[in-house]
Amino acid sequence: LFQRSRSGGASATGAGEDIAKATLARRAVRHLEDGLDAAAAADRALDEFDELTGSTAGLVVLDADGNAGRAFNSDAMQTATRRS
């Protein structure tokens, strides 16, 4: 699931139904809109998701400047970033 705004964007993977119910990607983007950096927005959104659902998920967040953040509460989540 993906969410984007002028502040940045986020994509989530994992327990899809719980991710949708908790609006995980939207939560992360809202934290960007509130001024958090990408890493903090990802961490806070995933903490909220974990409290709400107890499910596992991973989240990648990019702010408007291209800075990346990621968070996951599963055993692992592979990610990569590229800067040009």
Q: For 3-59, how does the pLDDT look when each residue is reduced to its tens digit (9 = 90+)?
A: 667 889 999 999 899 999 999 999 999 999 999 999 999 999 999 999 999 999 999
**What predicted TM-score, i.e. pTM, was given to this entire model?**
0.88
Q: Give 82: exposed, middle or buried? Use CB within 10 Å, 0-12, 13-18, 19+.
A: exposed
Q: For residues 26 and 31, what is the distance between their CA atoms, to the nearest angstrom? A: 9
pLDDT band at 79 (very low <50, low <70, confident <90, very high): confident
Residue 12: phi, psi to the nearest 5? Answer: -125, 150
Buried b (16+ CB within 10 A) or exposed e, 36-50: bbbebbbbbbbebbe
